[in-house]
Amino acid sequence: MNRRKSLRSLGLAALGMPLLSGKLKAENQPEIPTIPNRSSTLDPVKITKVKAIYTCPHGIELIVVKVETDTPGLYGVGCATFRQRAHAVIAAIDKYLDDFCRGRDVHNIEDIWQTAYVSSYWRNGPVLNNALSGLDQALWDIKGKLANMPVYQLLGGKCRFAVDTYSHGGGRSPEEAAESVLAKQEQGFRHVRIQLGGYGATHLSDAPDFKNAGFGMPDDNVMDPVAYMKGVVRMFDKVREVAGDKVELLHDIHERLQPMDAINLIKQLEQYRPFFIEDPFSPENISWFPLLRQQTSVPISMGELYNNPHEWIEPMTKRLFDFIRIHISQIGGITPAMKVARLGEWFNIRTAWHGPGDVSPVGHAANAHIDLAVWNFGIQEAVNFSPLLQEIFPGSPRMENGYMIINEAPGLGVDVNEELAMKYPLPEKNNYNWTQLRKRDGTPIRP
């Protein structure tokens, strides 16, 4: 037994013995800064600065919050990534949260969350929620460092040895999609999401009449809902034929269909036993769920666009879907996400936190810490960080045999190399293209 463990087992931490001196370093773990001896880990630790750190190494804007304290070397980082409005989130952090938080005690996460939440009076929007998430996750990171424990331990400890994931497969044709599933299985994945090209299979659409008429903007995309629906059924059929029944298949409708079309498509997919179908409706169409539930037993995943508690409380307590798919930084961080997870436990709704490329490695680690600790974990999106991203964010989660593995460093276990991050500034011009989608006549479609 090493000295650190023996001190803890003797209960000397409670007597004020320092546990945080020295450095911890292991494979895939960032070097944890040395924190000077403290008389007690519960002495007030004041916030001295809250700031945004942003970087765009692969064309995706990533934002994290760094919370600095009056204890030399003690800081935390949290994910505040909302790439579509990056500059607005940065302003919310640097111009408001910094000012609001200075002098507050890092120990009181719930108090800081609740007071920051109402500090704008108007609340529950994506910009302010992301800023709040960066602050909240950074405070959990700090609490872990003070307790000398990974955050999942503070959330109740492990409920599973690692985080099971699904990987993104698919292709521009059913045959390509089937090939991708075989390749993912080779890599050790048991769950694969299959899409036919991009969301909505826009490549299957005919020439966009609205462009010929000079309507819209030159870069706008076009989608033919019927071609998409027919193509997805053919894709599932081919994938089951080629890859068999052992693999779990997922698909994301991405709110792109009219509600009754989505219901019809899901009924047709039932025979292929999907693991879940994601976002059949836009949040604005939430009232269609009871009809969907009467028509099919296919498991449904919902909620990556949710920002406001009013969007998830009623459908969860009515068991209108099976997986809650919230993007954790969009609701304000670990603190509210744990409440959502606990709510789901009572109604047997499992978690499937949104985990795409526009979540920073810090945010993916936060997802995984919750995934390890809550009983009603469902599935997580796999990560695939480039060597550069791993250098900017030392300690990033990694994959092994289809599982996401996080390191055991105190806190969230991920740091940020500010100097390197700054070498990849945000782009001068904003890209709206991905969200701009129209029917053949030019009618905008929810993206």
Interface contacts to Mg ion, rule CB under 5 A: 252, 304
Q: Are the C-beta atoms of residues 299 and 323 closer than 8 Å to each other?
A: yes
Q: Are 384 and 363 in contact (CB under 8 A)?
A: no
Other CB atoms within a 10 A radius of the CB of residue 345 amount to 13
254 catalytic residue (yes or no): yes
Residue 76 or residue 169: which is nearer to Mg ion going by CB?
169
The CB-of-103 to Mg ion minimum distance in angstroms stands at: 40
For Mg ion, which is the closer residue by CB, 306 or 377? 306
Torsion of CA 313, 315, 316, 322, to 10 degrees: -150
Coil, helix or strand for 350? strand
β-sheet bridge partners, residue 150: 411
Q: Smallest gap, in angstroms, from Cβ of residue 193 to Mg ion? A: 9
CB of 437 vs Mg ion, minimal distance in Å: 15
* Complex with Mg ion: residue 304 or 358, whichever CB lies closer: 304
What is the token pair recorded at 328? Answer: 């954790």
Q: Kindly state the smallest distance separating residue 232's Cβ from Mg ion, in Å.
A: 15
Q: How far is the CB of 200 from Mg ion (least distance, A)?
A: 12
**What 3-state DSSP class applies to 176?**
helix
Contact 142, 88 (CB under 8 A): no
Please identify which of the residues 168, 251, 254, 364 carries the catalytic annotation. 254
Among the listed residues 54, 75, 166, 199, the single catalytic one is: 199
Nearer to Mg ion, 252 or 371 (CB): 252
Phi, psi dihedral angles at 323 (to 5 degrees)? -125, 130
At CB < 8 A and 24+ separation, what contacts does 312-320 make?
Answer: 312/340, 312/343, 313/343, 315/286, 315/289, 316/340, 316/343, 316/344, 316/347, 316/349, 317/343, 317/347, 318/289, 318/290, 319/347, 319/348, 319/349, 320/286, 320/289, 320/290, 320/293
Is 199 catalytic? The answer is yes
- Tokens representing residue 320 in the block: 């209108």
Task: Decide whether 303 or 394 has the Cβ nearer to Mg ion.
Answer: 303
At how many degrees (to 10) do helices 126-147 and 334-346 cross?
90
Q: Which residue is nearest to Mg ion (CB)?
A: 252
Q: What residues have CB less than 8 Å from 285, skipping those under 6 apart?
A: 255, 259
| Closer residue to Mg ion, CB minimum distance, 286 or 412 | 286
CB of 107 to Mg ion, least distance (A): 36
Q: Could you give the residue numbers annotated as active site? A: 199, 254
